[in-house]
Every structure is written in C-alpha cells, then in structure tokens.
Amino acid sequence: MQRIRFFHDLSIQVKLILAFMLTSAIIIFVNVVMYYNINLSVAKVNEVYESNLNLNHFTVSLGKVGVSVKDYLETKSSQSIDNYYRSVQEVESAMEGMNTRIIDSEALLMQKNIYHLTNHYLQIAQDAIQAKRGRNIEKYRTDYKEAKSEASVINTMVYSLNNELFKTNSKNYEALMKTLKYLETICVTLLIVVVIANFLLIYLLTKRITTPLIRLAKSANEIGAGNFNIPFIDVTSLDEVGIVSKAFNQMILSIQQYIQKVREGIEKENAHKEKELMMESHLKDARLKYLQAQINPHFLFNTLNAGAQLAMMEGADQTCTFIENMADFFRYNIKKINEDTTLEEELTLVDHYIYILNVRFSGEIHYDKRIDQQFLKVRVPSMILQPIVENAVNHGIRNIERSGKIVVSVFQKEMHLCISVKDNGVGMNQEQIDTILQMEEVKAKSDSNGIGMNNVIKRLNMYFHGENLIEIKSEGEDQGTEVILYLPILE
C-alpha cells in the first residue's frame, strides 16, 4: 500500500520514465525467455541423431582395429602396432556410453551384446598380436580368423542397432519439431499479450494522469458559470495535478466561506429587524394578557386550600370536605397529566370527582366499586378512568329520570387486567360506539375537563404498545353502557 502511495506521489515526468522503463524491461525479459527456449529446443534437435553418429564413429574405430591388426600381422612394424593401440583406445572410448545392464529394451540389449562382443573381439585381436610376437604362426592365424568373423558379427549388429535408433530418433525428431513449432506459437502469442499488456499499462497510467485534469477543467467551468456549490475534487496524489487540485479546492472553500459569511450577515440583519418587530408585538400582547383575568390552575387549588382552611375555622365541615376534594382533584390534574401513576390513585381521583358531582347534584349519582385489591399498585397512564366516568355522567346518566348509577370494577381475565366502568344510563347504538372506537372527535360538554375518550384510547395504545385495549358494550336504548379496558399484565 505504501509503495502504491509512493508511486502516486511521484511527479508526472518520473511516472512516464518509470512506465517506459517497465514496458521496455518486460519486452526484453520476454525476448530473452523466448531466445533461451528456442536455443534449448534447437540443441535437443541436434542431439537427436547423436547416438547414430556415435555408432558410426564406433564402427569406423572398430574397422581401424581390424586394419591395424592385419597390417601388424603382415609387416610386424612399429607403426602398425601404434595404430593398433590408438584404434583400441578409440573403440574403448566409444564403448563407454554403451549399456552393460539387462534392461527390457531391444535397443539397449543390442548395445549390451555389442559391448560384450567387442570386448571379446579386442581380446582375440590382442591374442593374435601376442601370438605374432611369439612366432606362433598357427595360433595368430586362427585368432585373426576368429577376430575377423567376430568383427563381421559386430558390424552386422551395429548396423541393425543403427537402423533401429535411426527410426526412434526420426520419431523424436518429428516430436521435437512439433514442440518447436508449438513453442514458436506460444512465443508469438506471449509477445502479443505483452504488447497488449503494455498498451493497457500505458492507457491506465495516462488515464490516471488525465482524469484529475478533466475533473479540474469541469469544476473550473462550473465556477466560471457562477456555481460555487460544487463538490471538492478528490485528490489522490501529490504530483503536479494533485498540487493544483488541492489549491483549487482551497479556492472553492474560501469562496464558499465568503458567500456563507455574507449570507449569515444578511440573515442576522433580517433576524434583528424581525426581533424588533416581535418585541413590539410581545409588548402589546403582554399588556393585553395583563388585563385579562385568566385563572391559573396552581392559583386555583391554592385558593381552594385557603378556602378549606377558612371553612374549617368557621366549623363548616361539609364545605371544608368539598373544598378539599376540589383541591385534591385539581392537584392531581396538575401533577399527573404527563406522568404514569398507580391504579389506586386513579380510583381515588374518581372518588373525588364523584363526590364533587354529588355535591353539585345533591347526591343523584350512586357510585359503587368492586376492586381486586392485588392490582391497586399496578402502573397505568394517568387520567384514564376519570374521563370515562365523566363520559358516563355527561352522556349516560345526566338526563335520565331514574337515579343514575355507576359501578367501577377491577378484575383479572386471563392475562389481562380488566377495568370496567358501567352505568345505567341512556345506552348507545353501534354507530356511536364505532365513532368512539375509531377515535373521531366528539363535541364535549361545556363542563368537561377537556380529555376525551379518543385521548384516553391513544395514550393507552402508546403506553402498552398495542391496540384493541378498550371495549364498549350497550344493549341498546336505556340499557346503560359498559366500557372495559383490557390492560396487559406486565411482568
């Protein structure tokens, strides 16, 4: 990786020189390899018929031995004996490459036989020479005759072996010539591949050099056309093109920063003017709000607490209890509206609410609770029961002639905690039930706390991450309504 980085950081001139040297080195290397392989094949071709040449040399040397023996037997001259020993050495030298082992090859077996026959022939010739020197005429004549016959057999075997080797060598020669042709084809193909590879190498190098220049030219045209929001040029080298590209990127950055500063200055000036206008508007609103008599909930339940204390001091116990329930009701609304709470606290809030309504309406609402005590500490979203009870009062039992009744039940059904709010009011038809369950807006009564059924359904779905947590039942007109919450029992 560092070597590639080093090459990228070289100057363009050095890159071109290195590319030329690399391509030249590749071509020279391929030519050397081709020259070596061709010479090696030619040398093997020349060696094909070397065995035939060696046999011919052996035959000539063997003939010289016979001639020198005959000459010595006839003349007994020192020249002839010297020729004899020289010829014997040539024959023995030619015999060194012959096979002497038993091998499953006809040609090699023939070489073995020739080798042994030649040794026997030389021994007979030597015996004839020794008999001549000992003046044993009968013996040297017999030995010479046997040697001559032996030489004839050897020549015949050498001729047969030479023919056999010539056939084998001819086949090898043809195979080597085919190999040479194949090698020639490979060399030509390799040369073409090297030329193509060199072309690709030069193409990639020139592309690496010219691509940044093309990008630089395009970016310069964009700047000239007034488009300053262009991406920076990717700089991957430290050559001349890389240095120019970095300088161009710095110029673009400087221009963009200057434009950004001018834009921020204009935005600040506009914001300052807008702020002045808003300040003037807020001052007018403040004066107006100061004149309005809006009651803050904190101020309200603090005032109610003061009223409860005053009623206690005056001995008005019922008034004191009423005001305390009112204060607790408002305090719960303020503290718990954005928090979860326990089921016990929710039921207590309903108690306060029913008490307040019964004071207002002279005890017209009969309220009953059927609570499974083990679920009082279960955590639930705040303000989920009171809106349901309020809905039962306002839309269920408010305008009936008989006594209104509300029953709140808490029980377990399978893996759900069930909370039921049941009234004996006017009842509901299926269309009204569907409207509530589909969380469509229903116009609230003027004395509602502002938290409707759709708000309760949405908060339950978000808190328990589910749907279908509420069921509304009604047998029809004047049959009352029951709202049941199915809350998952969390571990």
pLDDT attached to residue 250: 78
Q: Is the pLDDT of residue 441 over 60?
A: no
pLDDT attached to residue 7: 57
Its CATH class, for the domain covering 366-440+448-488, is alpha beta
Confidence at 295, pLDDT banded by 50, 70, 90: very low
Q: Is the pLDDT of residue 49 over 70?
A: no
Contacts of 259 (CB under 8 A, 6+ apart): 228
Please give the Cα distance from 28 to 305 (Å, whole number): 107
Confidence at 487, pLDDT banded by 50, 70, 90: very high
Confidence at 33, pLDDT banded by 50, 70, 90: confident
Structure-block tokens of residue 91: 């024959």
The residue assigned the tokens 């705040």 is 382
Decide which of 1 and 143 is more confident: 143
What mean pLDDT is predicted for residues 441-465?
Answer: 68
What mean pLDDT is predicted for residues 397-407?
Answer: 87
Q: For the chain, which residues make up each domain, given as ranges?
A: 2-212, 231-293, 366-440+448-488
Q: Is the pLDDT of residue 1 over 70?
A: no
What mean pLDDT is predicted for residues 299-309?
Answer: 56
Residues 391 and 454: beta-carbon distance below 8 Å: no
Please give the Cα distance from 347 to 407 (Å, whole number): 12
pLDDT attached to residue 207: 76
Please give the Cα distance from 111 to 100 (Å, whole number): 7
Beta bridge partners of 472: 483
Q: Is the pLDDT of residue 300 over 70?
A: no
pLDDT attached to residue 201: 78
Q: Is the pLDDT of residue 307 over 80?
A: no
What mean pLDDT is predicted for residues 431-452?
Answer: 65
Q: Is the pLDDT of residue 67 over 50?
A: yes
| DSSP conformation class of 316 | -
Its CATH class, for the domain covering 2-212, is mainly alpha
Nearest CA among 62, 45, 48, 46 for reference residue 165: 48
Q: Which of 90-104, 286-300, 332-346, 419-433 has the lowest mean pLDDT?
A: 286-300
pLDDT attached to residue 282: 40
Confidence at 446, pLDDT banded by 50, 70, 90: very low
| Alpha-carbon dihedral 91, 96, 102, 104, rounded to 10 degrees | -100
pLDDT attached to residue 466: 78
Please give the Cα distance from 165 to 345 (Å, whole number): 118
Other beta carbons within 10 Å of 452: 19
- Give counts: helices (H), strands (E), the chain: 13, 7
Decide which of 24 and 394 is more confident: 394
DSSP 210-275: HHHHHHHHHHHHHHHTT----PPP-----SHHHHHHHHHHHHHHHHHHHHHHHHHHHHHHHHHHHH
**How do strand 404-413 and strand 365-371 relate by DSSP bridges?**
parallel
Nearest CA among 371, 385, 352 for reference residue 453: 385
Mean of pLDDT over the chain: 76
Q: Is the pLDDT of residue 444 over 60?
A: no
Beta bridge partners of 334: none
Ranked by mean pLDDT, the top range of 11-25, 177-191, 311-325, 444-458 is: 177-191
pLDDT attached to residue 60: 86
Answering whether pTM is above 0.85, one says no
pLDDT digits (tens, 9 = 90+) for 193-222: 878 887 887 787 777 777 777 777 777 787
Ranked by mean pLDDT, the top range of 5-9, 108-112, 172-176, 342-346 is: 342-346
Please give the Cα distance from 381 to 470 (Å, whole number): 14
Share of the chain above pLDDT 70, in %: 75
pLDDT attached to residue 237: 67
Q: Is the pLDDT of residue 351 over 80?
A: yes
pLDDT digits (tens, 9 = 90+) for 411-425: 999 889 999 999 999
pLDDT attached to residue 289: 40
Specify the 3-state DSSP secondary structure of 89.
helix
pLDDT attached to residue 335: 57
